[in-house]
Amino acid sequence: MEKVVIIGSGCAGLTAALYTARANLEPLVLTGIMPGGLLTTTSIVENFPGFPEGIDGYELMTRMQKQAERFGAKVKFGTVESVDLSKRPFTLVVDGDPVQTQTLIIASGAGHRHLDLESEALLEKKGVTYCATCDGALPMFRNQPLVVVGGGDSACEEATYLTRFASVVYLIHRRDTLRASKIMAERTLSNPKIKPVWDSVVTEVLDVKQDKVTGVKLKNVKTSKESTLDCAGVFVAIGHVPNTQLFKGVIDMDENGYIIPKQGSATNVPGVFVAGDCSDHVYRQAVTAAGLGCAAAIDAERYLAAMSQ
């Protein structure tokens, strides 16, 4: 029987692990399929306090894990497949095995939203990507026309970043104005290397037969006119999906699946706490995720202390 189980080993999960470990609760951290979380996919993190020269994302997460382990956190490679939160202790099924715990901290993060096209899935990592910072500098994209799909701040950031490498960046948006903040939209549209393609959606990524991205098929949503655009890469930047499907119907969440804390980090189920990007659609930063992990740990510790009185 565990006192605290933490689902997720990103900034939120490992910070929660550090705090609960220092409170002698010997937390069990389940890493999921992405040990270290999203930050391991980026090379340089320049806005995490304490690293004036920046730090490699993988290195930062390795340090966070070591720091938590130093105080007794148990970090285990495993994915939670189902949960029974109807009675305490809670039961989780982790890679087929049951794990029981008195409290649970959900720090499962958020993944990228997909276009839901078969060709997109087949060409992922063969020109289709969800992260300009991670993949933009790859040789396959250099001096090539690239496509960014989306119209929000992330899409604008991705498009602007890609102009360092691409010959031209087409920004495909289904509306006729960007959703991004005014300053970001203005900066993006004034960049001579970025060409907006308005009122359009991608209907197919080409070319599955060649096993690489050679272009996209587009449809104008106003005129229904179809066209093809040559490109070497498709960067999808249409938002995120929180990894909270496991808790649907049990833990309160908004219509997009973000967990809604009730008070502090506490959820509607007593003994279950939440931290990080799976409950934060606003800030989505490493330092905010870490801060929320700290809060969840303190809340879990106080809950256990109150139970034992």
Ligand X SMILES: Cc1cc2nc3c(=O)[nH]c(=O)nc-3n(C[C@H](O)[C@H](O)[C@H](O)COP(=O)(O)OP(=O)(O)OC[C@H]3O[C@@H](n4cnc5c(N)ncnc54)[C@H](O)[C@@H]3O)c2cc1C
Residues that bind ligand X (CB under 6 A): 7-13, 30-34, 37-39, 41-42, 45, 47, 79-80, 107-109, 131, 133-134, 243, 246, 276-277, 284-287, 289
Query: Which is closer to ligand X, CB of 64 or CB of 205?
Result: 64
Query: Which is closer to ligand X, CB of 37 or CB of 127?
Result: 37
Q: Write down the least CB distance from residue 208 to ligand X, Å.
A: 26
Active-site residue, selected from the candidate residues 56, 131, 199, 207: 131
Separation between Cα atoms, residue 84 and residue 62, nearest integer Å: 31
Separation between Cα atoms, residue 97 and residue 19, nearest integer Å: 26
Active site residue 135: yes
Active site residue 134: yes
Sequence letter at residue 190: S
Active site residue 277: no
Give 51's Cβ-side CA count (13 Å radius): 13
Active-site residue, selected from the candidate residues 97, 116, 135, 252: 135
Q: Write down the least CB distance from residue 163 to ligand X, Å.
A: 18
Q: Write down the least CB distance from residue 18 to ligand X, Å.
A: 13
Active-site residue, selected from the candidate residues 56, 134, 252, 294: 134
- Report phi then psi at 144, rounded to 5: -120, 155
Separation between Cα atoms, residue 77 and residue 35, nearest integer Å: 7
Query: Which is closer to ligand X, CB of 130 or CB of 303?
Result: 130
| Location of structure tokens 């801060």 | 291
Q: Write down the least CB distance from residue 94 to ligand X, Å.
A: 8
> Which helix H or strand E contains 274, and what residues bound it?
strand 272-274
From residue 254, alpha-carbon distances to 79, 198, 244, 281 in Å are 24, 30, 11, 10
Query: Which is closer to ligand X, CB of 39 or CB of 236?
Result: 39
| Ramachandran bin of 148, using left for φ above 0, alpha for ψ from -120 to 50, beta for the remaining angles | beta
Q: Which active-site residues does the annotation give?
A: 131, 134-135
